[in-house]
Amino acid sequence: MRRRAILGYGAAGVGAVALMLFVGWWQVDGPGGAEPVGQRPVALTEMDFRLTDHEGNAVGPETLIGRPTMAFFGFTYCPDVCPTTLSDISGWLDDLGDEADEMNVVFITVDPERDTVETVAEYVGYFHPGIRGWTGPEEQIARVADGFRATYERVPTESGDYTMNHTASVFLFAASGRFVTMIDYHEPREFAVPKIRRALAEEMEGAT
């Protein structure tokens, strides 16, 4: 009887520790966590850049104001992270159903040398139709990445070619342009979709 009680207390203790660890993860690294201020993207209203979408239209931060935005940096020659994330985004948009029509969803290249308008257009065509592809001059890509606090770098390969290292998280902004949160690479769908709905629920600043 005493042994059974001890085992019961032990199990309860393990459960309590597990719960504490989960709560800590949720508040620090999980969906409830806040990004460090120094790394937090600025509001879209404070950004200034000029790019071109995959249909040849001029776009900038003002293009995104008025609807919630989901943005991801990558490149079309990316072997795994980019197609995986864009496939995840496509699945999230399917889960949202009609709500997905209320969002801007953009894929921004970090490899403008190879990612022309035509190349990006073909690439995004393999994923959800709601995803837009953006490209432009290197200096403009640098400006948008700086505003998003995204990083990228060109890395030579043994074959004499190159690949790109880049931020793999997905950025979420409210319709007002205010940064809401990020979705980490490979974050489970049950956490990612509620984050997107959180951005959708944000009212525009100053709205009545």
What residue numbers does the annotated binding site for Cu cation cover? 78, 82, 166
Neighbours of 9 (CB within 10 A): 10
Closest Cα to residue 171, out of 35, 19, 2, 16? 35
**Rounded CA separation 105/159 (Å):** 34
Residue 84, token pair as written in the block: 């995986």
- DSSP H or E stretch at residue 64: helix 61-64
Which residues contribute to the annotated binding site? Answer: 78, 82, 166
**Rounded CA separation 77/147 (Å):** 24
Could you tell me which residues come within 8 angstroms of residue 67 by beta carbon, excluding any fewer than 6 positions away? Answer: 102, 103, 104, 175
